[in-house]
Structure 1
Amino acid sequence: MSELKRGYLFGIVAYCLWGFFPLYIRMLRPAGAVEILAHRVVWSVAFVALVLTVVRRWPFLREVARRPGKLAGISLASALIAINWGMYIFGVNTERVVETALGYFIGPLVMVLLGVVVLRERLNAAQWTAVGIGTAAVAVLTIDYGRLPYIALTLAGSFGAYSLVKKRLALPAAEGLFVESAVLGMPALAYLAWLTVHGDSTFGHGGGHTALLVLAGAATATPLLLFAGAANRIPMTGIGILQYIAPILQLGCGVLIFHEPMPPARLAGFALVWLALIVFTVDGLRTSRRRAAERDREPVLAA
């Protein structure tokens, strides 16, 4: 198998795992959202520590520890991913899987806006059109829900900001996840200890439930590591297309498995989001092809 095909395989598996993740979260009941988040953090640290031991990548962490600026950036990334994880778990466990799917559908549009606001990037006409359609979609969904779709917006905003911070940090996948989880590890352990002291912990109440909580670390880290393998092997346009697998599957879980409502107005809002994404994706593919053609036309200088 070629490296390109292996990359696409890694990416498809990663996004499918993320797409079906609501099913796993539901199996963690009766644990609450914060308890699930704490276990997810603690067992992610343990699982990735095992991975780093196997691949012998611990020396990298000493380099990070000597750079206070990078540690500050990692702390910010940790806070953002904790918000993202916590809101996602809350959405799934409060019967709003469809809204969590919406968050990941509008994520690329939020990333574009963050690029304009934070990085001072300029948008072309197609990108502005996509953002405008996406804004109209949020307005329609706000009317349908009777409130702002805050779960979706928080998921999109927190992951978009997290992605920007991660891009600037440029950390390898396993090492980055370990350090981010480790920053959250002590507060997570303290919360779990508090739950245990007050008799509110669900950990240990049944072997199956306890095993699922422990496996939350592997369930969190595995798709991230697969995604890193995909990102290193396939072009960004490929990643851009594959990223829609997860919210499509999440939407399917919400509507077909959990039987969440999809009234006509909500469907219209989603249709506008999909239209915006089509405009955005088509423009991205055209831009990528144009740049590739320009590179092909560049003269090759003799050595």
Structure 2
Amino acid sequence: MSKPASAAQVGVICAIAAYSMWGVAPVYFKQLMVLPAAEILMHRVIWSVVLLVGFIAVLKQWPKVITALKNKRVMTILFFAGLLLGANWLLFIWAINNDHLLDASLGYYINPLINVFLGRIFLQERLRTLQRSAVILAVVGVAILVISYGEIPWIALVLASSFSVYGLLRKQVAVDSLPGLFIETLMLSPLAIGYWILYGSEYSNLLNNSIDLNVLIFAAGIVTTAPLLCFTAAARRIMYSTLGFFQYIGPTLMFILAVYLYGEPLEEARLTTFAFVWLALAVFSADSIFHFRRQRIEARVQVKKMQDQAMQEKKMQEQRR
């Protein structure tokens, strides 16, 4: 097996592992239902910082962290990105532990479509015909839910939009995912520690907890960092466009857990909404495939032109001699 093929296979495995871990994360958070959502977030931030210190030391990422810390613009963007990420985590945890996992699943399904929409608004990226069709289908699906229940699916929309804006901010700074997450959680840690001291529950004193509960609490750092490490490893080994096709594993697993494990109701209107969103994602994925293939063909044509031009120049030089 060639090295590129082997690297690509490892990348695919890492991508599947990353999105699968994100998809089954609700099972973990359900085990911490005795804690308020804000307290679970607090532990997620604190133990992520602790674990990330070790990973950054082992992977020798400190120079990248220090470079980012010295840049005022980068730190400002990472601060606001961290606030958005913290808000996204908090709502995600609250949604899981209040039986809104289907809403969370819907949010992460429509996240790629909101990314395209924000790219059009803020980055002046042109929407291709199929991309526009996908966005319209998703809007129709959400509209059906609004008309049927008389309320906006705010959990799904806030989760999707907050993570999309977070991604938009992270695009503005050239900081790798691991050092970036460390700095973001590090800046959130004073808020987390303040909450621990001022507003903690009866479970805040770890000495009074059972060993099982404390193990779950400490695992918050692993639940946060392990998928990210797999994602980073995948991103280094396979094309980003290919990586994007694995992103639907997470919300699909959440959907399955919500319906079949936790018994959340899937009424006709909600199922219709999901159907429209799934159709939108199918159109979106088809567009991505067509666009990727077109780019490869154009690249080959360009290379062929350059080779032909080089050959012609070589022949002309030989004729002059």
Which TM-score tier does this pair reach, normalised by the shorter chain? over 0.9
Runs of 4+ in 1 over 6 A off after TM superposition: none
Corresponding residue number in structure 2 for 1:174: 178
Q: Which stretch shows the higher mean deviation, 88-97 or 230-239?
A: 230-239
SS where residue 123 of structure 1 aligns? coil
State yes or no: 1:42 paired with 2:46: yes
CA deviations 1:202-241 (Å, max 9, x no partner) are 7442111111111101110110111111112112232121
Query: What's the counterpart of residue 232 of structure 1?
Result: 236
> Separation in 2 of the partners of 1:220 and 1:273?
27
Q: How does 1:1-303 map to 2 (within 5 A)?
A: 2-196=6-200, 199=202, 201=204, 203=206, 204-298=208-302, 299-300=305-306, 302=310
Letter in 1 for 2:154: Y
- Structure 1 Cα separation of the partners of residues 149 and 106 of structure 2: 13
Query: Residue 274 of structure 1 aligns to which amino acid in structure 2?
Result: W
| CA deviation vs aligned residue, 1:78-108 (integer Å, no higher than 9, x gap) | 0110111011001001001011000000001
Calculate percent identity across the aligned residue pairs: 36
**Count of matched residue positions in the alignment of Structure 1 and Structure 2:** 302
Query: Which deviates the most, 233-242 or 111-120?
Result: 233-242
SS in structure 2 opposite 1:232?
helix
Q: How far did 1:56 drift?
A: 2.4
More displaced stretch, 163-172 vs 138-147: 138-147
Q: Alpha carbon RMSD of aligned pairs, Å?
A: 1.6
Whole-angstrom CA distance in 1 between matches of 2:168 and 2:205: 35
What are the ranges of 5 or more consecutive residues in structure 2 without an aligned counterpart? Answer: 315-321
Report the Cα offset of residue 31 of structure 1. 0.5
Gaps of 5+ in 1: none
Alignment deviations for residues 21-60 of structure 1 (CA, whole Å, 9 cap, x no partner): 1100000120011000010000000000011122222222
> Contact between 2:145 and 2:152, CA under 8 Å: does it hold in 1?
yes
Classify 1:20/1:202 alpha carbon distance in 2 versus 1 (closer, same or farther; 3 Å): farther
CA contact (8 A) 2:203 2:209 kept: no
TM-score (normalizing by structure 2): 0.91
Q: Indicate if the aligned counterparts of 1:47 and 1:217 stay in contact, CA closer than 8 A.
A: yes
- Amino acid of the residue matched to residue 223 of structure 2? A
Distance 1:207 1:101, change over 3 A: same
Secondary structure in 1 aligned to 2:172?
helix
3-state secondary structure, aligned to 1:120: coil
C-alpha deviation, 1:126, in angstroms: 1.1
Asked if 2 retains the 8 angstrom alpha-carbon contact of 1:31 and 1:202, the reply is: no
Q: Conserved in 2, the CA contact under 8 Å of 1:30 and 1:202?
A: no
Secondary structure at 1:240 match in 2: helix
In the alignment, the residues of structure 2 paired with residue 57 and residue 99 of structure 1 have an alpha-carbon distance, to the nearest angstrom, of 36
Once structures 1 and 2 are overlaid, which stretch shifts more, 138-147 or 61-70?
A: 138-147
Q: CA deviation at 1:199?
A: 4.6
